[in-house]
Structure 1
């Protein structure tokens, strides 16, 4: 799909059947979403550049992600998508400055794009251009990343309250409940790792973009790019701080699981020790020998039962006195 936006922020859809000569000259942003080979060739003929393929976007070498060719600036960044689901992913998005136009190529739908498109009319300036659209789009991506981190903090805080809240009030959690929380912790860890990878790629892109002549020659663009550059390290530090808290939560949850499991084992151990003497007494009087003094004793049975109870109570009281119960 080829979505295009004019300098007045009007959105139009381009078709490969439409003659290139009939295109509006004031198109400044072309957004390729899951493009076909025909659409890629159409854009190549329109802009006079070689459009990177999906395989090209997967290259991780900096020289393949950030470069200038024929006066056009090619940049690729990894963005977080599906952050609100249980399976967050990273998707590679290409940003290309071809003259005064911006070309984006993506094979997923990060929420930051839909947010930017919804507020595209807010892009100020009488003479809007691709550089301005790119910087505003990057700003929206950074803001969306900050929103993801804020939601993660709220979710992790609720998770921490659920794990430690009842513990603080003296109510113990079942090991099964704590084990289920490990899956939640793993989910947040997966999301944070994706966010940190995305911020790292955005940091490299911003550093490269800041050196582009189109940015250096425009004071407003230069200041906005510098502002984005300040926000990205701040978010990276915040993500690292959250990851540290998440690591503590994981260690604490594992510790609580061990405590609860040890408490269960302790109960079984005490029960086995408490019932061992009664079992011994019952075993002795359960033997079927002809010569046993108590066989003909009138009070033999009640005495044996009392002996079993006493032998169970004495270890129990001893454990309580030692503070083991």
Structure 2
């Protein structure tokens, strides 16, 4: 799908079945979403440049993601997509500045694009050029990334309360409670890892854009890009801090699981020690010796039972007195 936008956000969808001969003069943004071969060919004919394909976007070489030609500047960034679900992914988006227009090529729908489309009519002065539009779009992408990090922090706080809640005793926790929390930690780890990768790619893109020759004449875009660069830097540091909290939460959860397992082993160990003296008494009186006076006593059997009971109770209270129970 090819959608054209003017400086005020008014849109026009192009149909390859009814192509146009030239782009309207007021168009500053051409957005290609999952373009077909016919749509790629139409965009290339109208723009006079090669449009990056899906295979081009997947190339991880820096020289393939950030480069200039005589007619355009090509930039590719990885953006976080589906951050609200359990399986966030990175989607590669191409930003192409050619002439006075911005061309975006994407095969997924990051939420930042929908937010920017909705905000375009409210931008004071509009987006008169492609580079200004690119700067404002990058600003929206960074704002969306900040929102993802804020939501992740709130969810991590809730998860921390679940792991360290003092009112939730071990006896009242269902089986595998902490093991299930480990899966939650893994989901947050995946989201923050994807966000950090996205911020790294955006940082490289912004540095490359700042070094473009035409940026010296675009004072407004230059100021916007500088703000975006600072925001990316601060968000990268914040993402690193969140990553450290996730690591702590993971280590703490594993430690609590180890403590619970040790408590179970401790119970079995104490039980074996408590029942060891009665076992010794029973073993003695289970021997088939000919001379064993207690076997002929009328109270021999009750005495043996009482001895076994006392030998079990005495170690139990000793353990309680020592604080081992």
Shared fold (TM-score greater than 0.5)? Answer: yes
Match in the other structure for 1:184: 184
More displaced stretch, 72-81 vs 298-307 = 298-307
- Distance across 2 between alignment mates of 1:182 and 1:126: 47
Point out the more displaced range, 297-306 or 199-208. Answer: 297-306
* C-alpha separation in 2, matches of 1:188 and 1:304: 61
Deviation, structure 1 residue 4:
1.7
Number of residue-to-residue matches in the alignment: 323
Gaps of 5+ in 2: none
1:321 Cα deviation after fit: 2.5
Structure 1 unpaired stretches of 5+? none
1:1-325 correspondence runs (5 A) = 1-21=1-21, 23-125=23-125, 128-166=128-166, 171-172=169-170, 174=173, 176-286=176-286, 292-325=292-325
Task: Assess if the C-alpha contact under 8 Å between 1:123 and 1:133 holds in 2.
Answer: no
In 2: Cα distance, 1:216 partner to 1:55 partner: 32
Q: How far apart are 1:286 and its partner, in Å?
A: 4.3
Instruction: Give the drift of 1:204.
Output: 0.6
Kindly indicate whether the alpha-carbon contact (under 8 Å) linking 2:65 and 2:74 is maintained by their aligned counterparts in 1.
Answer: yes
Between the aligned partners of 1:152 and 1:112, the Cα distance in structure 2 is 17
- 1:57 to 1:126, Cα distance in 2 relative to 1, 3 A: closer
CA distance in 1, matches of 2:126, 2:179: 58
After TM superposition, the score normalised by the length of structure 2 is 0.94
Displacement of 1:126 in angstroms is 5.8
Deviations 1:200-256 (A, max 9, x none): 110010011112233321211111111111100000000011111111111111111
Given that 1:30 and 1:104 are in contact with CA atoms closer than 8 Å, whether structure 2 keeps it comes out as yes
CA RMSD of aligned residues (A): 1.9
Distance 1:289 1:2 in 2: 100
CA distance change for structure 1 residues 62 and 170 in 2, over 3 Å: closer, same or farther? Answer: closer
Q: 1:55 to 1:126 in 2, by over 3 A?
A: closer
Supply the distance in 2 between the matched residues of 1:151 and 1:281 (Cα, whole angstroms): 64
Give the Cα–Cα distance (whole angstroms) in 2 for the partners of residues 301 and 126 of structure 1: 100
Greater Cα shift, 308-317 or 287-296: 287-296
SS of aligned partner of 1:21: coil
My pick for the range that moved more, 37-46 or 18-27, is 18-27
